[in-house]
Amino acid sequence: MQKANMLSSRDGGSGASGGISGFLSGGVKPVAVLFGIYFILSIAIRVSLPNSLTLDEAEQSLNSQFWLLGYGPQPPFYNWVQNLFVGALDISLLSLALPRFGMLFLVYLFMGLAARELQVSRSFAGLAMLSLTLLPQVSFMPQQDLTHTIALLMATSLFFYGLCRTLVRPDWQGYAIIGIAIGIGTISKYNFVILPAATIVAVALDRDWRARLLDPRMLLAAVICIAIVLPHAVWLLGNLDLATRGTLGKMVESDAPQGIFRVTKALGSLLVACLAFGALAVVVLALAFKSSVKRAVRAGDRWTTLFGRIMLFSLVGVVAVVLVAGTTRITERWLDPYLLALPLYLLLKFDRAGADLGLGFKRLVPVFLVIMVVVLVPGPAKVLTAGLLGPPGRINMPFADLAKQIRTEDRPATILALGMHLSGNIRMQFPDVPVFDIDSASVKRAMRDLAPPVLVIEADGDGAVVEPKLDAAMLESATGLSATDFRTRLVPYHRAPDRNMGFRYLWLR
């Protein structure tokens, strides 16, 4: 590629020259500083809230007791990272928040490094980083409750960095990064594998770049990828049903139509998901560079062609899954690895159309900052307004108060809880006690080995008191221990003292 095609001076002149815009236009480093501060603030906010857990946090809390090659429907990469933090810091809100927001930071950083490899302009890489805030699946949803998806996003941005680096200046480090990214992505979310497959086809269609695929250093990428994936792959072979059951169940509706109507519904769901994923980015960037929109539609070069093909071929892969698996429901979350490069692609199109990136940067910075502030609000607001604008949320659930009441009776040596969310929260309240989800097949096989006294606990909905779901006689038979009568406690929600959450428990001694 000619240097004239890779360099641009269109961020000077009318561009950002002072204040926060001028600082952020300096490239990857200043924007990384901004996101570093931002995610430290995000961690502080989460730690300041009650220590009741969301669904994904509870899953990590429960699974952090064990090092396993597989944990169920989700691949284990995030669990392994989480276990490192829990091992170093013990189970706490801090140890749960650090990997989550640390990986989010890396999503932005790696995408900035990928954009910097394209050598468009000084501000371009920073603009590409900040433009990720226009994707709700990157800026908003991870602030609420995601774990494995965040690992997927991190692996995807790392993959694009390795790809851009290898295409611009092929070296062994670039191929190693690609291998690491594919390995991590595969054991973060199984749907990641469509992305490198689509990328191989897209690169092969470029006459000059296809030589990168035949480079002997591709073997290095393959070896690294296999080394990362192999341990989980061995587990997967013996647990395929467990690993796929939950995901396929979410993707296929029980009352879905058949034949062509099923396919039509699935494709319509995919189209809606694509719009939900990228519409905000398209609209905001089009308004920021409105004078260049028509030219941008036609403008492009080999980079825009590459990223366009990667996204297109990835979506073709999704369509293939729709046809083969009978999928009827696609959500925008499942498009994360395929459309993460959309802001970068759009910015490249505008640059190739001659848009003033500096002026656009100045216009967009206030939008980016507003989005970053706004997405921080829902979590704390939902906790503080519990019961006023709807039922109390999971973070308002009174697990800490329940634990204080239980400790006045006895100290459990083992805890059995009904359901993953309850189990993970009880684990947070009793960090030194083994906690198991009683629905787990492995626990049912080992009931005779549980150390007494065993606390068995279940939870109801908002103040409901119904018949116990667990049977005391069956528990006695399974464990060989004697059960007390069930006890019921109604505990007020945090910030909603007029609303109670019901719990029932018994002791096995």
What is the Cα–Cα distance from 481 to 4, expressed in whole angstroms?
Answer: 78
The residue type found at 123 is S
Strand order in 487-493's β-sheet?
Answer: 435-437, 414-417, 454-462, 496-508, 487-493
pLDDT per position as a tens digit, 193-242: 999 999 999 999 999 999 999 999 999 999 999 999 999 999 999 988 87
What does the pLDDT read at residue 241?
81
What does the pLDDT read at residue 17?
56
Residue 319 scores a pLDDT above 80? yes
Mark out the alpha helices in 193-332 (DSSP H runs).
Answer: 194-204, 210-213, 218-238, 240-251, 259-288, 293-298, 302-325
What does the pLDDT read at residue 6?
42
Residue 15 scores a pLDDT above 60? no
pTM for this prediction: 0.93
- Mean local confidence (pLDDT), 457-471: 73
Summary mean pLDDT of the chain = 91
Bridge partners, 462 (sequence order) = 501
pLDDT band at 7 (very low <50, low <70, confident <90, very high): very low
Number of H helices and number of E strands within the chain?
26, 5
Task: Establish whether the linkage from the previous residue to 497 is cis, with ω within 30° of 0.
Answer: no
Spell out the residues 6+ positions from residue 386 whose beta carbon is closer than 8 angstroms to its own.
Answer: 392, 393, 396, 493, 494, 495, 496, 499
Distance of CA 194 to the CA centre of its chain: 17
Mark out the alpha helices in 64-121 (DSSP H runs).
Answer: 77-89, 93-117
Q: What are phi and psi of 240, to 5 degrees?
A: -60, -40
Contacts 24+ apart (CB under 8 A), 272-275: 273/330, 273/331, 273/332, 273/334, 273/335, 274/315, 274/332, 274/335, 274/339
**Percentage, residues of the chain above pLDDT 90:** 76
pLDDT per position as a tens digit, 138-166: 999 999 889 999 999 999 999 999 999 99
What does the pLDDT read at residue 498?
86
pLDDT per position as a tens digit, 338-376: 999 999 999 999 999 999 999 999 999 999 999 999 999
Give the lowest-confidence range in 147-161, 268-282, 435-449. 435-449
pLDDT band at 19 (very low <50, low <70, confident <90, very high): confident
What is the Cα–Cα distance from 34 to 466, expressed in whole angstroms?
Answer: 50
Select from 130, 145, 146, 161 the least CA-distant residue to 281: 130
pLDDT band at 12 (very low <50, low <70, confident <90, very high): very low
Residue 40 scores a pLDDT above 70? yes
What does the pLDDT read at residue 456?
96
What is the Cα–Cα distance from 51 to 396, expressed in whole angstroms?
Answer: 9
pLDDT band at 250 (very low <50, low <70, confident <90, very high): low
> Do 117 and 142 contact (CB within 8 A), yes or no?
no
